[in-house]
Amino acid sequence: MRVTEPDAAAIARAAELLRAGELVALPTETVYGLGADALNPAAVGRIFAAKGRPADHPLIVHLPDAEHLVRWARAIPKEAIALARAFWPGPLTLILKREEGVPDEVTGGQDTVGLRVPDHPVALALLAAFGSGIAAPSANRFGRISPTTATHVVEELGDKVALVLDGGPCQVGIESTILDLSRDTPEILRPGAVSADDIARVIGRRPAVKGETAAAAEEPAPRVSGALAAHYAPGTPLRLVPAAMLTEEAAALAGEGSRVAVLARSVEDPEDARFLWHAAPADPKGYAHDLYASLRMLDASGADFILVEALPDSPDWRAIADRLGRAAVGSGEADET
């Protein structure tokens, strides 16, 4: 694998590799993606092999611009056009009825497709050079922490990808909001930087949020792997602890001889040499930006436990709380995915 500065030559080379059916890792504003030509089933198959991801999990197709929507989706509701206009390029994925010719390998055999235009100059340059849709899940092994730097991609995928375009650290830091517009009621399948309120302001009604209503819980097989209870997980057991108990809990574990890493937000560092204490930004944007890099660092520290200070229960923190909840459930199962 080669990691490269994303100059014009590298972008041209990446587009060539995509045309040849190879995998290219690309930066987006959310996380790094593992990209392949979305119209080439064999190339898309390589994504699943590289990630170790179940083949029925659909992929997001990244588009050069909103004009490309009509090539991938049909029966496009007005709300989709309004949202694309408001948030693209940006961290919002729209689930729409798929157009003919969109491969089953991309959609997991469903009659819908996930589409977004990413807000990153390198991704947009590559998409423009390639001129078609790039299927790209997050560039991590299945179930693991999404990469927010080119180095993370290398850690995750070793030599399974032909080229990594290094676009620096991702600005947003957590994956896009996924909004299902393929059925009567818009529903957020995965929360992200674009909130239910942001969406409501554009379409004039508030989307349902998966997990918030009883009906959503009754749905069959997971359509969103990011919605599996265990996901985004470090190998070290991770636990969420209320602020008031954070220091006490860390001390108790250290007292039993465990090595403890802490991701704090508001609780001050007790400067106890037995802990690796990491202070996260106190605001949701900063917190999301640093989250995955911090989790990787704490995971690699050799700690027996990662304690994470529980987050405020407010809309601003919802998407981050979602990721941390899943990280807690999936943690401590190194290399089982």
Which residues are at the interface with ligand TXA (CB under 6 A)? 28, 30-31, 33, 57-60, 91, 93, 95, 107, 110, 112-114, 118, 136-138, 175-176, 178, 189, 223-226
Q: Which does 31 bind (CB under 5 to 8 A by kind): ligand TXA, Mg ion, none?
A: ligand TXA
Q: Which does 224 bind (CB under 5 to 8 A by kind): Mg ion, ligand TXA, none?
A: ligand TXA
To ligand TXA, the closest distance from the beta carbon of 292 in angstroms equals 12
Tokens of 165: 């375009």
Pairwise CA distance, residues 262 & 238, whole Å: 10
Pairwise CA distance, residues 195 & 190, whole Å: 10
To Mg ion, the closest distance from the beta carbon of 176 in angstroms equals 10
Cβ atoms of 97 and 75 within 8 Å: the answer is yes
- Closer to ligand TXA by Cβ: residue 225 or 247: 225
Q: Which does 173 bind (CB under 5 to 8 A by kind): Mg ion, ligand TXA, none?
A: none
Task: List the 134-135 sheet strands across, edge first.
Answer: 2-4, 163-165, 24-26, 33-37, 134-135, 60-62, 112-116, 92-97, 177-180, 187-190, 208-209
User: Which among 131-139, 243-251, 276-284, 285-293 is the span making contact with Mg ion, rule CB under 5 A?
Assistant: 131-139
Cβ atoms of 301 and 276 within 8 Å: the answer is yes
To ligand TXA, the closest distance from the beta carbon of 162 in angstroms equals 17
Helix segments in the chain, DSSP class H: 8-19, 41-51, 69-72, 78-87, 104-107, 121-130, 150-157, 196-203, 214-217, 246-255, 284-299, 318-330
Q: Which residue is nearest to ligand TXA (CB)?
A: 137
To ligand TXA, the closest distance from the beta carbon of 38 in angstroms equals 11
Q: Which does 294 bind (CB under 5 to 8 A by kind): Mg ion, ligand TXA, none?
A: none
**Interface with Mg ion includes 93 (CB under 5 A)?**
no
- Closer to ligand TXA by Cβ: residue 66 or 95: 95
Q: Which residue is nearest to Mg ion (CB)?
A: 138
- Closer to ligand TXA by Cβ: residue 176 or 236: 176
End-to-end Cα, the chain, rounded Å:
22
Cβ atoms of 114 and 63 within 8 Å: the answer is no
Chain-centroid distance of CA 310 in Å reads 21
Candidates 28, 132, 138, 247; binder of Mg ion (CB under 5 A) is 138
To ligand TXA, the closest distance from the beta carbon of 244 in angstroms equals 34
The region, left, alpha or beta by phi > 0 then psi within -120 to 50, assigned to residue 163 is beta
Of 325, 335, 287, 313, nearest in space to 148 by CA = 287
Total site size for Mg ion, rule CB under 5 A: 1
- Closer to ligand TXA by Cβ: residue 83 or 310: 83
Q: Which does 337 bind (CB under 5 to 8 A by kind): Mg ion, ligand TXA, none?
A: none
- Closer to ligand TXA by Cβ: residue 112 or 247: 112
Cβ atoms of 302 and 334 within 8 Å: the answer is no
Residue with tokens 């390639």, as numbered in its chain: 130
Q: What angle do CA 165, 194, 140 make, to 5 degrees?
A: 35
Pairwise CA distance, residues 192 & 146, whole Å: 14
Tokens of 229: 């209870």
- Closer to Mg ion by Cβ: residue 129 or 224: 224
To Mg ion, the closest distance from the beta carbon of 226 in angstroms equals 6
Q: Which does 247 bind (CB under 5 to 8 A by kind): ligand TXA, Mg ion, none?
A: none
Pairwise CA distance, residues 109 & 104, whole Å: 4
Q: Which does 110 bind (CB under 5 to 8 A by kind): Mg ion, ligand TXA, none?
A: ligand TXA
> What mask, x for binding Mg ion by CB under 5 A, covers residues 210 to 249?
----------------------------------------
Footprint of Mg ion (CB under 5 A): 138
